Amino acid sequence: MFPRRAGNAKRVPLANPQPRQRSLIIPRSSHKSPKASHLSSSQHFAAEPRLRGKVGLITGGNRGIGLAIARALAKEGCDLIITGRHRGSLQKASRELAHFGIRVVAEACDVRDRCSVEALVATVKKQFRRLV
């Protein structure tokens, strides 16, 4: 609103400032196809799992944000390795994620411990042979 003029240290207000652009809101079409009306919104986009055949590694995948990310990847068909420090919650999360029809490996790992991380890498190589 107050541009500087060349050679003038004082700010001078603009006579006609440009209005700020607002985001464009596109109204939804009221017309829905009869076949799509019985599907939920998640079913519209997840007809074919986009990550089928991919492998993901999630540290802290036994609870909180890590588990939420694991669920999202599992819904898309991604095989998972979830890690955490507590075996009990890892097993519980692993059972939940297996219901998505994917391969899940739960491995106790503390990322602060180098030996623990090296053991995790060995498990990934043995179980999946890749991480993509």
Average pLDDT, the chain: 78
C-alpha–C-alpha distance, residues 73 and 100, integer Å: 10
Q: Residue 44's pLDDT is what?
A: 46
| pTM (whole model) above 0.75 | no
Domain 50-127 class in CATH? alpha beta
Q: Residue 56's pLDDT is what?
A: 94
Domain positions in the chain are 50-127
Average pLDDT (81-101) is 95
Bridge partners, residue 84, by sequence: 108
Bridge partners, residue 105, by sequence: 81
Which ranges constitute the DSSP H helices of the chain?
A: 41-45, 64-75, 87-98, 114-127
Q: N- to C-terminal Cα distance for the chain? A: 49
